[in-house]
Amino acid sequence: MLHYSFCKPRGLIEALQVLSEYGGRARIAAGCSNLLPDLKARHLQDCLLVDISELEGLRGIQAEGNWATVGSLTTIAELGGSPLLREGAPLLWQACQSFGDPLVRNRATLGGNLGHASPAADTAPPLLAMETSVLAESLSGGRREFPIAELFAGPGRTNLRPGELILSLRFPLFERKKVAFVKFGLRNAMAISLASAALSLRMEDGLMQDVKLAYGSLAATPFRAFRTEECLTGMPCNEETLVRASTEAQGEVRPITDIRASSSYRRLLAGALLRQAARAALS
């Protein structure tokens, strides 16, 4: 049986008030694609559901010069259907194509995917690789902007302050890099990623430069694999480089064993996904 109460703030201030008042007992309900299973599994009990779905100000994609601001209530389907992102932020756009299934993409929001802080969140590795910044607000602390890498604290845990709500994400557009998002699940749709990787790089005189690599599901949080990035930077994209970088990646990831896969298998996937991503990015 589900134990919860429910409120639906009419504006941002009211929402922040509720979040501030109820603290840890308040759970934000947006697309509910994570919330409903959690309620059903009784991982959430005795909580206040704060339905923010009508805060229209948190919805939509805005471009300003070479920067995009995406409201946290924007759905994955909206992101995946955006011609602007397809051209300007292909790494995120790619991740949105294979996210969940069409039904989930219509409900799930970008803010929810990040705020839920699953190590497997599909939008996290691209946003990490794009050095996205997060805009959040609370009643007492006001607005602050910080790098997305500082958002994740552990499985299901963020570094958001009490009562803080993610308002939007800001990332660069039209970087003109070679990119690929690859993921691996136990089936091709509606499967939690066992491992995912987002890679972006530039080829200059046959060498890889400005390499960004982020992994999902291979540690307690999604993370940038800086050591592996270094391994790739300034190198030609050949078998030798990739084998070396894969070995580095396998050492850099910190996967767990759970019912979906063992840590050793996930470690192997880190290398396989890197090679797959490099191949896809340069094809």
Partner 1 sequence: MSDSSFLSIGTDTPRKDGVARVTGAEQYACDIDLPGMWIAVTLRSPHPHAKILSVDTAAACALGAVVLTADDVPEVYYNERGVSVPAKTYRDRLVLPRKARHVGEAILAVAAPTEELAFQALRAIKVEYQLLPPVLDAEQAMLPQSAPLYDRVFFGEDHLEVKANIACEREIHVGDAQAALASSDFVFEETFQLQRIYHHQMDTKTAVVKPEPDGGLTVWCTTQSIHNVRIQLGRIFGIPLSKINVKKTALGGSFGSSIQMNSVIPIAAALALKAKRPVKLVSSREDDAYDHTNYPGRIQLKVGVNRDMSITAAECHFLVDIGAHQIQAYPLLGSTAGWLVSLYHWKNVDYWAKAVYTNKVPACAMQGYGNPQMNFAVESMVEIIAERCGFDPIAFRLRNYVGTGDEFWGQGPTVRSIIKSCGVEESLRIGAEKIGWSERGQPSQKTGRLRRGIGLGRGFHTSGAGAPQPAEVIDYSSATVKINEDGSVDLMHPLMDLGGGANDAHAKIVAETLQVPMALVNLSPVDTRTTGYDVCTHASRGIYVGGAAALQAAREVKGKLLDFAGRLLNEFPEHLELVFDPQDQQTYVQTRSIQPETGLPATELPATELPATELPEARQLAAARQPPAARQPPAARQPPAARQPPAGSPAKRITLAEAAKMGMVNGWGTLIATGSLRQKNCPPSFVTNFIEVEVDTWTGVVRILRAVCLADCGTPINPALAAGQLEGSLARYGGYALGEATEHRPDTGALFCEGFITDNKIFTTCEMPREDNLQTYFTHTYEPSGPYGAKGLGEAAGNSVASAVANAVHNAIGLRFTSLPITPERILAALASKEGLPC
* Bridge partners of residue 200, in order along the sequence: 179, 212
Binding part of the chain for partner 1, among 16-24, 88-96, 189-197, 216-224 by CB under 8 A, reads: 189-197
CA distance 111 to 186: 25
What is the smallest separation between the CB atom of 278 and partner 1, expressed in angstroms? 12
Cβ distance to partner 1 smaller for residue 163 or 216: 216
User: What stretch of H or E contains 216?
Assistant: strand 207-216
**Amino acid identity for residue 86 in this structure:** R
Segment interacting with partner 1 (CB under 8 A) among 77-85, 87-95, 139-147, 182-190: 182-190
Contact at 8 Å (CB) between 182 and 194?
no
Longest dimension (CA), the chain: 62
Using CB under 8 A as the binding rule, whether residue 261 contacts partner 1 is answered as yes
For residues 146 and 265, which CB has a smaller minimum distance to partner 1 in the complex? 265
190 binds partner 1 per the rule CB under 8 A: yes
By CB under 8 A, what part of segment 133-152 binds partner 1? none
Q: Judging by DSSP bridges, how do beta strands 207-216 and 4-7 pair with one another?
A: unpaired
Nearer to partner 1, 66 or 257 (CB): 257
CA–CA gap between residue 9 and residue 199 (Å, rounded): 39
DSSP run (H or E) holding 86: helix 83-88
The DSSP secondary-structure symbol of 239 reads H
- Pick 82 or 228: Cβ nearer partner 1: 228
228 near partner 1 (CB under 8 A): no
Residues at the contact surface with partner 1, assessed by CB under 8 A: 1, 37, 40-41, 101, 184, 186-192, 242-243, 246-247, 259-262, 265, 268-269, 271-272, 275-276
